[in-house]
Amino acid sequence: MRYFVFVVVMTVNGFMLILQMLMLARMMLSWFMQDADGPAVNFVVETTEVFIGPVRMFFDKMKWFEGSMIDMSFITTIMILMIVNLMLPTVRI
């Protein structure tokens, strides 16, 4: 059972690392390539929007950060991913 939990934790950890790299790529694309439209860009945006979208909808519903020039939903999503990633190695049976 412990081996199974270890494998699951390591798989989720790897997924989280890949997702964080995609988030970093999306951030860089938004800074440097404003009108980029290609399969790689679409993949990055569609993959990360699944995680950013609910946070953005929550902030819109609560009317938080309405006039902000910084995308706080993006920053919040990155922070949530980092917290989950830090908590994963502490999973015990």
pLDDT digits (tens, 9 = 90+) for 5-61: 888 888 988 999 999 999 999 999 888 877 778 888 899 999 999 999 999 999 999
pLDDT band at 91 (very low <50, low <70, confident <90, very high): low
Q: Extract long-range pairs of 10-14: CB within 8 Å, 24+ residues apart.
A: 12/88, 13/85, 13/88, 13/89
pLDDT of residue 5: 84
Q: Look at the block and give the residue holding tokens 């938004």.
A: 30
pLDDT of residue 90: 75
DSSP summary character for residue 7: H
Domain ranges (residues) in the chain: 2-90
pLDDT of residue 93: 58
**Mean local confidence (pLDDT), 59-75:** 89
